[in-house]
Chains A and B, each alone.
Chain A
C-alpha cells in the first residue's frame, strides 16, 4: 500500500513541476495545488498507513496509528488552502493590471 501511495505522490510531484514550468498563470497555480497534494500524501505515508486502532489512549491498545503526520498534514492543508486562494486573487489582479497572463510577457525590464 505504501509503495502505491508513494508512486502516486511522485506522479503528483512530476505533473506539478510540469505545470509550474508552463507560461500560463492558471496552469502555474494548478501546479502549486498539485504540489501541495503530493507533499501531503507523502507525509501521510511517512507515518505508515495502516496499523490498527485510532490513536486514542485506552486500556489494552498497543497497535495504533501514528497521530503526528495527521496533525502535520492538517496544519499544512490549511496553510496551502490559504496560499492558493491568495495566489488566485493575486494572479487575477496581476493579469488585469498587466493585460497579460503569460509569464514570458511579465518578465519586466531594467528601465522602468
Chain B
C-alpha cells in the first residue's frame, strides 16, 4: 500500500500533461479539469483516511533503502495539508471559467494549475531536504508561468520582482542544504534529525538553522522579508491570487514547522524565542499594511502576513497547545484566504474597480455577496463559532502556558484590527447609498459565488465540528513533538 504516497503528486502531474493537449478546446479542458480535480480530491480523501487509521505511509522511491534513496512520507500532518490543498484547488477549478478571460484560459492555464498542485503536494509529502528544494522549484516554475499569464504592463513588472526574489532564495536554499550536507553527510530529513543529535559543535548547526529560516521566511512572507509579497500577489487573475495566497506562503511556513520540529530542536531558547518576536512583528507590520490601503485586493494580500505571524507564534511557544493551534490555524487560514481572495475578486469584478473609495451601496444589488464578505471577516478575525476562533484559542492557550503574555496581548489586538480591515470593505463598499453611476447593469455572479460558499462551509464545519476534528489535530501535534516517531517510521530500525 505504500505506493499510495505518490498518488497526490502523480495524478495532478499527469492531468496537467493531458490538459496541455486540450489547451485550445476550452470546454473539454474545463470538464476534464473538473473530473481530474474531483478524482484527485477523492483519492487524497481516501489516503487521509488510510493514514489516520493505519499510520504513516513511507514510500522508498525506486526501491532504494531509506537514507540512500528519496523517500516520500505521507504522515498525518502532510496528508492533512494535501487534503486542504485539494479542497482549495477544487473550489478554484470551478471558479475559473466564470472569472478568467478566454485568452488566459487557452494559454495553458489548466496545465500550470495542475503542475502547481503537484508541486505543492510534493513539497508537503517529501521526506528529503533536497527533494523539498526540487518540489519548491516545480511549484515556483508553475507560479512564474501563472503570474505572467495575460502579460499586462503592471503584471510583467511585478512578476519580474517575484521571480527575482524567489530565485535568490532558492539559491540560498541549495547553499544551506550544501552546508548541512557537509556537517551531517545526508539529505534525508529523518537521517539528518538522527545525526544532528550526535554533532558536537552545535554552533555551526545553529548558523545553518538561521540560513534555513531565512529561506523559508522569504517564501512564507514573514517580517522583515514580506516586502515582495503583497503587490505581486494582487496583479494576476483572482483565481491565481487565491491559489498563491492560500498555498505558496503556507508551503514556506509548513517547511519551518517541519524543519524546526524535527531537526533544529536543540536550542529552543534561541531559535524558537526569535520566532515569537518575529511573529509579533509580522502581526504589527502586516496589519499596518492592511489598514494603510484602500485597494481591496491589497487589504487581503496584507492580511496574509499577520496570519503567518499567528502560525509562527504557535511554533515559537512549541508546546502541545501551541503546535495544535498552529496546525488548526494553518488549515483554517488556507481555506479562508482562498475564499477571501475569490470574494474580493468577485467584488472588484462587479464594482468594476478595486479602489474602495470609488464604489458603495453594493448590498442593494448583491445581498448574498455582501453577507459573504461579512461572514468571512468574522471567520478571519476569529469570532466564534467559526474556525478562526478555535485556532486562536489554542494558540493563546499555548502562549499563556509558556508565559508569553506580550504576544498574547499583541495577537488579540491585531485580531481586532484584522476584523476592522475586512469590515472596512463591507462598510464602505456595501453600505452607503446606491451608486448608480458605476453599476449600470447587474452582472451575473451565481457561478462565482458557488465555490466561495463551498469554502466558507468548510470553514464553518472546521469551527462547529471542532469536537470531531480536534482529536486528530492533537494527535498530529503529539506526533510532531516527538521526532523519534518520525525517524523510526522512515528509517525502520
Give residues in A with beta carbon < 8 Å to B: 20, 25, 28, 32, 35-36, 39, 42-43, 46-47, 68-69, 72, 75-76, 79-80, 82-83, 86-87, 90-91, 93-94, 97-98, 106, 108, 110, 112
Report yes or no: A35 in contact with B171, Cβ–Cβ below 8 A: yes
> Is there an interface contact between B168 and A94, defined as CB atoms closer than 8 Å?
no
Which listed residue, A42, A86, A94, touches B175 by the CB 8 Å rule?
A42
Inside 8 A of B459's CB, which chain A residues have their CB? none
User: B179 in the interface, Cβ–Cβ < 8 Å?
Assistant: yes
Which label, helix, strand, loop or mixed, suits the secondary structure of the B interface? helix
Contact B163 A86 (CB under 8 A): yes
Contacts of A91 in B (CB 8 A): 160
User: How many B residues have CB within 8 A of the partner chain?
Assistant: 33
- The CA-CA distance from A81 to B234 in the complex, in Å, is 28
Binding site for A on B (CB under 8 A): 130, 133-134, 137, 141, 144, 148, 151-154, 156-160, 163-164, 167-168, 170-171, 174-175, 177-179, 181-182, 187, 231, 293, 295
A residues within 8 A CB of B231? 108
Q: Is the CB of A76 within 8 A of B174?
A: yes
Interface centre among A68, A76, A112 (most CB of B within 10 A): A76
Contact A43 to B159, CB < 8 A, known contacts A35-B168, A79-B137 = no
The answer to whether A94 touches B171 (Cβ under 8 A) is: no
- Let me know if B157 and A32 touch, CB within 8 A: no
Kindly list chain B residues whose C-beta atoms are within 8 Å of the C-beta of A90: 144, 148, 156, 159-160, 163
Closest beta carbon of chain A to B127's beta carbon, Å: 16
Task: From the candidates A68, A79, A80, A108, name the one contacting B158 in the complex (CB within 8 A).
Answer: A108
Partner of B178, one of A69, A80, A83: A69
Q: In the assembled complex, which residues on chain A have CB atoms less than 8 Å from the CB atom of B181?
A: 43, 46-47, 68-69, 72
Of the residues A20, A25, A79, contact of B168 by C-beta under 8 Å: A20
Q: Is the CB of B153 within 8 A of A72?
A: no
Q: Are A39 and B178 in contact (CB under 8 A)?
A: yes
A93-B171 CB under 8 A given contacts A46-B182, A98-B156: no
Q: Which of A28, A39, A93, A98 contacts B174 (CB 8 A)?
A: A39
